[in-house]
Chain A
Amino acid sequence: MIYLDWTATSKPLKEVVEVYNKMNEEYWYNPSSMYKNAAIVKSLIDRASQSIFATLGLHDKSIYYTSGATEANNMAIQGFVMPYKNQNKHIITTEIEHASVYNVFEFLEKEGFRVTYLKCENGMIDLDELEKALTKDTILVSIMWVNNIIGSINPMKKIIDLVKAKSHAKIHSDLVQGICKIQPDFDFNDLDLMTITFHKIEGLKGIGALIINKNLQLNPLFYGGHQQNQLRPGTNDASLIVASAKAIRINFAKTIIHYQYVQKLYHYLVEKLAKFSFIDINKKGDYDLLDGYYSPYVLSISFKNIKAETAMHFLEENDILVGIGSACNEKTKMVDRSVYALTKSETKAYHMIRISLGYHNTIQELDYFIEKLQELGNK
């Protein structure tokens, strides 16, 4: 089996699963209880949070564990803007965000907020457009770091500097496809809110996290007990949390090594695929060979005459797994927003498959994939 869908999820590391199991055997008590056994579990959660802060170089932040990135994005955006409802406030995002951000903005638009969706004609946002969009009423700017479909990388440092210089708006970023994969050009501390998840980086599913400035007030999405500062009530799963700290610690340290290796695979793949006349690579020409604008972990291609699903199943029969659109979108059958934003072509947005690489892939695997793709093209 050749797995080329690492952006959808990854196989958990053995060490991570071991930690999870150990936690469930020994430290399964409710961390909110007052006896010693439980207090240790609470200490382990605190230690995990500090470990995540240390890994990412964060200070003066609070971390809230959620069920995943979708919840963290909702909590960040809804939680921050809802107190400003009916005050004619303005919020900014991009047209290529993951559905768990984009659809929240659509919802908020219906709730009366003024929304600007920044265009991403080159894959990434245009700083001039952002500057023009900022007003004194802008309260939140949410821009993803690395796009999950076309792999474009937003210029986060410039975005942060611009937003801070020109407005009082808070900045949220969905870091899911960047963390442990791309070396950041910015300081995570400069984001007011950030979403991370662990199952994309060889951690476990069922957990994500929202990290925010310590003094920032959010409205909760759920009401319940006093856990997590009452912002995200419910019994914490210490096993998931501690296992997640392990996953991010191991893989964050390898960001550069993995990047350099995957970049080689990516260049190899792009070079071969560029020769196929039956597909288009969904990148803007000017940026094709420039590193730093696109993530080597994600490559989106569109077929000229083959349906994406047909292609996917053909490859599956040949033991190759790729994605079509975002896995989170699979039931909606809609054209992909990110590819459309980039190509302005509905056909391309519909006939798109996503090849996403991991550091476990090899050149041999890619050769086999390219061979099968050629077969498909010849049909």
Chain B
Amino acid sequence: MEDHILIRYGELSLKKSNRKQFTQRIQNHIKRALKVFSKLSFESRGMRFYIMLNDEDSKPIIDILQKIPGIYSFSVVSRCASNMDDIYFLAKKLVLNELKDDKNKTFKIETNRGDKSFPYTSIEITKMVGSYLFKNIEGLKADVHHPNFTLYLDVRHEGSFLFTKTFIGMGGFPAGSLGKTLLMISGGIDSVVAGYLTIKKGMSVDAIHFAAPPYTSPLAVQKVIDLLETITPYTEYQDINLYVVPFTEIQKSIYEYTQSDYCITIMRRMMYRISEQIAKRIGALALVNGENVGQVASQTLESIQTIEQVTSMPVIRPLAIFDKQDIVNIAMRIKTYDISILPYEDCCTVFVPKHPQIKPNLNYTIVEENKIDYKRMIEKAIADTERIVLRVNKHYDYLLNNQDKNKKQEIEELF
């Protein structure tokens, strides 16, 4: 009886000149994400897009559609023959389903009559269906101004289409439509949320992570992988590239040769330098991170200014002015929170000095960082950077993948 899913696009409806490109992009994304459901067929009509279910179960499809940027909302539409008896039957079923959780919900009916040869006008249909429902559902309440739900009826020649539920989509722009970025990800709560929001807004995301083995555990890298795998389903091509930069040598020399309260400032400058170079290599147009003004010493406006001075690239900080609780709420919703709070040290936490500078002086920072041969070390770190491709539904195990060939073979044989 469920017939199709009706999809409404988001804010891109405003962008007239690019509309065609944008809708095409979402449609391709939808088709790619629903590839495994072989019975589906698709139809585009103006600013609406239809997925014909052809007997596929709608439930797993709903979950996937809620992870596609650029979709404003969608509804699962049921179909019946265009006669009053069938319409009554289906309307009652849908309304009862709505009342399953809360009997006191109010409703209204909106009818559209596409088939002008149908013997009743849309107003008459609304009245008839309404009075049938009142007669057959005890305690049903209407509210035409502020209903809890609306029963939509579209009576056409080929059949009548009914729905009550509208699912809210992600909103934002079609994934990847606004260009590529490089996300600096640590493993904490913020950076992955920043990545999610960036994808939602319509940018594609590659990620960069700084690892300092043996001071940081391979589990810290695994944690970053697990976080990114959580947001991979939102991406246009259902994958994310992760660059893991070996940062131990740089970090150790910073701590050995520079003044301890400037360590964090200098470390962040090194990270930005490396990120910018990698961003340029992969064609990313901006850096993204989870910085939040005032959250820690390196995120005061003074620190941000001193640190950002090393790059000419735009830096997007989606969370710059969020309250922590709002970030946590998003993290919980996208299910990254529980992973983020795992207790592994990352390179931002492992070497923290007791009293980091909250107002680092730029000139002094430069004097301090010139004590180390960072250009050579950065070159080496970039040369040794490892690229990992993360894909939807294919978990990447960092430790197992980093075993030598014989060990890998031995492990394969266990399974």
Contacts and interface: CB of A to CB of B under 8 A. Distances in A.
Interface of A: 19, 22-23, 26, 34, 36, 39-40, 42-44, 46-48, 50-51, 242, 245-246, 249
Given A36-B399, A50-B395, A44 B411 contact: yes
A50 B395 CA distance: 9
Nearest to B345: A34
Contacts of B395: 46, 50
Given A19-B414, A36-B399, 6 more contacts: A23-B414, A39-B222, A43-B222, A46-B397, A242-B415, A246-B414
B414 A43 contact: no
A34 B415 contact: no
A47 B403 CA distance: 15
Contacts of B414: 19, 22-23, 44, 242, 246
Contacts of B411: 44
Contacts of B344: 34
A245 B218 CA distance: 25
Nearest to B213: A36
15 contacts: A22-B414, A23-B414, A34-B219, A36-B217, A39-B218, A39-B219, A40-B400, A40-B403, A42-B219, A43-B397, A44-B400, A47-B400, A51-B415, A246-B414, A249-B415
A26 B219 CA distance: 20
A34 B216 CA distance: 11
Contacts of B403: 40
Contacts of A46: 395, 397
Interface in B297-329: none
A50 B400 CA distance: 14
Interface in B201-242: 217-219, 222
Nearest to A51: B415
A36 B344 CA distance: 13
Q: Which of A19, A34, A39, A50 has the most CB of B within 10 A?
A: A39
How many chain B residues sit at the interface, stated as a range, is 10 to 19
A39 B415 contact: no
B217 A34 contact: yes
Interface in B388-409: 395, 397, 399-400, 403
B296 to A, nearest CB: 24
A47 B415 CA distance: 9
A245 B414 CA distance: 9
Contacts of A26: 410
B225 to A, nearest CB: 11
A249 B344 CA distance: 33
Contact of B399 (A23, A43, A246): A43
Interface string B5-22: 000000000000000000
A34 B219 CA distance: 8
Contacts of A249: 415
A51 B415 CA distance: 8
A40 B399 contact: yes
10 nearest A-B residue pairs (beta carbon): A43-B399, A43-B397, A43-B400, A19-B414, A39-B219, A40-B399, A242-B414, A39-B399, A51-B415, A50-B395
A22 B219 CA distance: 24
B331 to A, nearest CB: 16
Q: Which of B395, B414, B415 has the most CB of A within 10 A?
A: B414
Nearest to A35: B217
Contact of A246 (B219, B400, B415): B415
A249 B412 CA distance: 13
Contacts of B218: 36, 39
Contact of A245 (B217, B222, B400, B415): B415
